[in-house]
Amino acid sequence: MTTPYTTAPDIALVLAAGLGTRMHSATVKVLHEVAGKPLIAWAVDAAIDAGARRVVAVLGHQRERVDEFLASRYGGKATVEVAVQAEPRGTGDAVRAALPAMTGEPDEAVVAILYGDAPLVTEGLLASLCAACQRSPAGMAVTATEPPHPVAYGRLVRDSRGRLARIVEHVDATDDERAIAEVNAGIYAIRLGRLREDLRHLSADNAQGEIYLTDLAARAAARGGAEVVRAPWEEVMGINDRVDLAAVARCARRRINEAWMIAGVTMEAPEATYIDADCGPLGADVWLGPGVCLRGQTRIGDGARIDAGCVLTDVVVEAGATIKPSSVLSEATIGTAAQVGPFSHCRPGTVIDERARIGNFVETKKSHIMAGAKANHLAYLGDASVGAGANIGAGTITCNYDGVKKHRTVIESGAFIGSDSQLIAPVTVGRDAYVGSGTTVTRDVPRSSLALSRAKQVNIDGWADRFRDAQNRRQSRQSDPDGK
Ligand code: UD1
Ligand code: MG
């Protein structure tokens, strides 16, 4: 049951059934991403963070795809449910579509209404709205904002005593009304009983022929007026097109970066550092160079250093590790005090243990590089296991693919692979063994032995001088064909 002073919404509705035509996209608007997180998840997460007991997403256009996304992200959490609005007949109609989901909920329940395309909403704003809703004699609170530039939003029309009289949509407004700076952000809190009653009276008698949720404001005015909660534009701006998407993304990234800096992360160029919403934790004294992109669910341990231009997607970097500039890592784990880069490529399934080193132009995939092992230059390690302390020389390649299947290479601890070697998998190089430079390893190398496959070297005395003389003689015959 709702207590009189709770600031958590009982139920949050996330409206996401609109067509989003101005995105000009094959993908439904609410699945476009800001900081790596689909728009609808921003609204759902804000509602959950605000303490909503239930979240009902109202879906329409491409509802199967959105539903699938919600199930994958929130599956198992009974909190997130779906209601369907078959045709987008307006925001009021969208809320009506959610009523059946709320059957059985008490009239005094506080319902927060959010948009799936306004991702910057905070739990703080939702808390203020819920508190205002409970103060309001009309059982309703509306969010007002003042955009820096005029936008086609609904205007808040106040009466002579300054109370909210009604909301007029831009297309229905007179010139005088359009001059009102205070606009409707589209985020509300309302008692369920009021909602049930007022939704029955909405009509589509307006310029767009839509059922406007905003008409609830005029009905609330007749009961003493809805409360108005003011919010900064940066918290409520919605996305209608890709210009808005970029503007919202900038705000989201600034907010994410500031939170990490406050938590102890140094960013040399915060305005050029891109951290996805689901990344973290990032430890104390993490240092991020300019142009670093941390994507997916990347985590970074205390004191790790990620230098300029690195792109890490779903990577775990342990404490004290260093990723040197321009390295690209995906689904990899980098151990304590390990070093990677510059210009390394660690592909999915790479596990680099403590103090190991992966140097420039080294590519790894599904490979485990154990403690203290080194591959410092120009190597490909795919489907490989490299034992502790092993050394992989420049130009070493694990030939893991025979054109049909992938095979594993095992290099045991302490082994030394000479430069420019090829290891034709499946193959094992035993513990402490040596592979001579330029060797093509086709058979297992026993422990502590030397493998050599290159041809024996031959030195021919005076050969180079004779070769040059012959060249010179040929050249002079060609320039003087008569031999004069
Ligand atoms: C709405 C408000 C306007 C406010 C603006 C703020 C109305 C009538 N107008 O206008 O006062 O200033 O938001 O952004 O409410 N949706 C549905 N089903 C529908 C229609 C919309 O689920 O039938 C969803 C959309 O997916 C979107 C949200 O509701 O998430 C807002 O819809 P949109 O069409 O963008 O409303 P606006 O015209 O911007
Ligand atoms: Mg809109």
Residues with Cβ within 6 A of ligand 1? 15-18, 58, 85, 88-91, 93-94, 115-117, 153-154, 167, 169, 183-186, 212-214, 238
Percent of the chain's residues with pLDDT above 90: 94
Span 289-317, mean pLDDT?
A: 98
Closest ligand to residue 217's CA: 1
According to DSSP, residue 346 is labeled E
In the predicted model, is pLDDT for residue 162 greater than 90? yes
For 61-106, what is each residue's pLDDT tens digit? Answer: 999 999 999 999 998 776 899 999 999 999 999 999 999 999 999 9
Q: Within the chain, what is the greatest distance between any pair of CA atoms?
A: 119
DSSP string, 216-281: HHHHHHTTT--EEEE--HHHH---SSHHHHHHHHHHHHHHHHHHHHHTT-EES-GGG-EE-TT---
CB atoms near residue 453 (< 10 Å): 14
Span 193-209, mean pLDDT?
A: 95
Percent of the chain's residues with pLDDT above 70: 98
pLDDT for res 157: 98
pLDDT for res 135: 93
Rounded to the nearest angstrom, the distance between the alpha carbon of 91 and the centre of ligand 1 is: 5
Question: Cα–Cα distances in Å, from 419 out to 373, 377, 378, 438?
Answer: 15, 9, 10, 6
Residue of minimum CA distance from atom 28 in ligand 1: 115
pLDDT for res 5: 59
In the predicted model, is pLDDT for residue 2 greater than 50? no
Span 253-272, mean pLDDT?
A: 98
For 397-413, what is each residue's pLDDT tens digit? Answer: 999 999 999 999 999 99
Closest ligand to residue 156's CA: 1
Span 238-256, mean pLDDT?
A: 97
Residue 307 near residue 293, CB atoms below 8 Å: no
pLDDT for res 480: 76
**Residue 187 banded pLDDT, cuts 50, 70, 90:** very high
pLDDT for res 85: 98
Q: For a substitution probing ligand 1, which of 39, 59, 115, 187 has the most ligand atoms within 8 Å of its CB?
A: 115
In the predicted model, is pLDDT for residue 449 greater than 70? yes
**Residue 251 banded pLDDT, cuts 50, 70, 90:** very high
Ligand 1 atom with the shortest distance to the CA of 90: 23
Rounded to the nearest angstrom, the distance between the alpha carbon of 230 and the centre of ligand 1 is: 19
**Residue 482 banded pLDDT, cuts 50, 70, 90:** low
In the predicted model, is pLDDT for residue 3 greater than 90? no
In terms of Cα–Cα distance, which of 365, 361, 386, 366 is closest to 376?
361
Rounded to the nearest angstrom, the distance between the alpha carbon of 45 and the centre of ligand 1 is: 20
What predicted TM-score, i.e. pTM, was given to this entire model?
0.93
In the predicted model, is pLDDT for residue 118 greater than 70? yes
Residue of minimum CA distance from atom 1 in ligand 1: 186
Span 213-221, mean pLDDT?
A: 97
Report the chain's mean pLDDT, rounded to a whole number: 96
For 428-442, what is each residue's pLDDT tens digit? Answer: 999 999 999 999 999
User: Which of the residues are catalytic?
Assistant: 377
Residue of minimum CA distance from atom 13 in ligand 1: 186
Ligand 1 atom with the shortest distance to the CA of 59: 22
Rounded to the nearest angstrom, the distance between the alpha carbon of 435 and the centre of ligand 1 is: 68
Q: How far apart are the two ends of the chain, measured CA to CA in Å?
A: 115
**Residue 479 banded pLDDT, cuts 50, 70, 90:** confident
| CA pair distance 46, 237, nearest whole angstrom | 15
pLDDT for res 46: 97
Residue of minimum CA distance from atom 33 in ligand 1: 18
Rounded to the nearest angstrom, the distance between the alpha carbon of 259 and the centre of ligand 2 is: 28
In the predicted model, is pLDDT for residue 1 greater than 70? no
In the predicted model, is pLDDT for residue 6 greater than 80? no
Triad 121, 127, 131: Cα angle to 5°: 135
pLDDT for res 126: 97
Closest ligand to residue 215's CA: 1
Closest ligand to residue 15's CA: 1
Span 378-386, mean pLDDT?
A: 98
Rounded to the nearest angstrom, the distance between the alpha carbon of 94 and the centre of ligand 1 is: 9
CB atoms near residue 105 (< 10 Å): 18
| CA pair distance 163, 278, nearest whole angstrom | 40
Which ranges constitute the DSSP H helices of 87-161? 91-98, 123-135
Residue 143 near residue 129, CB atoms below 8 Å: yes
Q: Answer left, alpha or beta for residue 377, where phi above 0 means left and psi between -120 and 50 means alpha.
A: beta
